[in-house]
Structure 1
Amino acid sequence: MVRAGAGIVYAALFIGSLLFGVVPTAVFASVMSVLCCYEFYRIMRLDGKVPNEFVGLVASVLFPLSVLVDPVWLTVINFLLVLLLGLWYVKNPRTRIADVAVTAFGAIYTGYMLSAIVLLREAIPGLEGALLSIGVCASLWLSDSFAYMVGSRFGKHKMVPKISPKKSWEGFFGGLLGSVVVWIIIWWTGLYEINLWFSILCGVVVSIMGVFGDLLESRIKRGVGVKDSGNLIPGHGGMLDRSDSLIVGVITAYLMLHLGGVL
Structure 2
Amino acid sequence: MQEKRETRQQQRDRLKRKALEKTPKKLKNPSDLQVRFRTGAVYTAVTVLCVLAGDIPMVLMLMAVAGICAGEFFYMLRSDAKLPNEMLGIIAAVLYPLSVYLAGLVGALLVNLALLLALLVWYVFWLRARIPDVGVSFFGAAYTGLLLCGLIVIRVSLPDPWGGVAVLLLFLSVWANDAFAYLVGSKIGRHKLAPRTSPKKSWEGFFAGLVGSVLFWCLMTLVPGVTMSIVQAVVFGILSGCMGVLGDLAESRIKRNSGFKDSGTIMPGHGGLLDRSDSLFLTSITAAILMVAGGCIPYAVF
Give the alignment of 1:238-257 within 5 angstroms: 238-257=272-291
Letter in structure 2 aligned against 1:97: I
- Given the alignment of the two structures, is residue 232 of structure 1 paired with residue 229 of structure 2, yes or no? no
- Given the alignment of the two structures, is residue 34 of structure 1 paired with residue 67 of structure 2, yes or no? yes
- Given the alignment of the two structures, is residue 81 of structure 1 paired with residue 115 of structure 2, yes or no? yes
Between the aligned partners of 1:244 and 1:25, the Cα distance in structure 2 is: 18
Indicate the SS of the match to 1:23: helix
For 2:239, which of 205, 210, 213 is the aligned residue?
A: 205
Structure 1, unaligned runs of 5 or more: none
Structure 2, unaligned runs of 5 or more: 1-33, 298-302
Question: What are the superposed Cα offsets for residues 122-165 of structure 1, whole Å, 9 maximum, x if unpaired?
Answer: 11120111111101111011010000000001100001110000
Between the aligned partners of 2:224 and 2:91, the Cα distance in structure 1 is: 40
- Tell me if the contact between 1:25 and 1:117 (Cα under 8 Å) persists in the aligned partners: no
Between the aligned partners of 2:121 and 2:277, the Cα distance in structure 1 is: 31
Indicate the SS of the match to 1:15: helix
Indicate the SS of the match to 1:51: coil
Between the aligned partners of 2:285 and 2:247, the Cα distance in structure 1 is: 11
Letter in structure 2 aligned against 1:185: L
Between the aligned partners of 2:139 and 2:222, the Cα distance in structure 1 is: 38
For 1:25, which of 58, 66, 72 is the aligned residue?
A: 58
For 2:204, which of 162, 165, 170 is the aligned residue?
A: 170
The residue aligned with 2:300 is none
CA displacement at 1:101 relative to structure 2: 0.8
Q: Could you state the TM-score of these two structures normalised by the residue count of structure 2?
A: 0.85
Moved over 4 A (4+): 188-191
- Given the alignment of the two structures, is residue 113 of structure 1 paired with residue 121 of structure 2, yes or no? no
Q: 1:121 to 1:45 in 2, by over 3 A?
A: same
Q: Could you state the TM-score of these two structures normalised by the residue count of structure 1?
A: 0.98
- Given the alignment of the two structures, is residue 61 of structure 1 paired with residue 115 of structure 2, yes or no? no
Question: What are the superposed Cα offsets for residues 45-77 of structure 1, whole Å, 9 maximum, x if unpaired?
Answer: 101111111111110111111123111111000
- Given the alignment of the two structures, is residue 48 of structure 1 paired with residue 81 of structure 2, yes or no? yes
Between the aligned partners of 2:109 and 2:44, the Cα distance in structure 1 is: 30
- Given the alignment of the two structures, is residue 187 of structure 1 paired with residue 221 of structure 2, yes or no? yes
Letter in structure 2 aligned against 1:57: I
Indicate the SS of the match to 1:193: coil
Indicate the SS of the match to 1:131: helix
Indicate the SS of the match to 1:165: strand
Between the aligned partners of 2:91 and 2:280, the Cα distance in structure 1 is: 21
Question: What are the superposed Cα offsets for residues 161-182 of structure 1, whole Å, 9 maximum, x if unpaired?
Answer: 1000000000000001111111
What RMSD in Å do the two structures reach over aligned CA positions?
Answer: 1.0
Would you say how many aligned residue pairs link Structure 1 and Structure 2? 263
Letter in structure 1 aligned against 2:102: V
For 2:177, which of 136, 140, 143 is the aligned residue?
A: 143
Between the aligned partners of 2:153 and 2:292, the Cα distance in structure 1 is: 10
CA displacement at 1:190 relative to structure 2: 6.1
Q: Which has the larger radius of gyration?
A: 2
Give the share of equivalent positions with the same residue, in percent.
Answer: 43
- Tell me if the contact between 2:165 and 2:223 (Cα under 8 Å) persists in the aligned partners: no
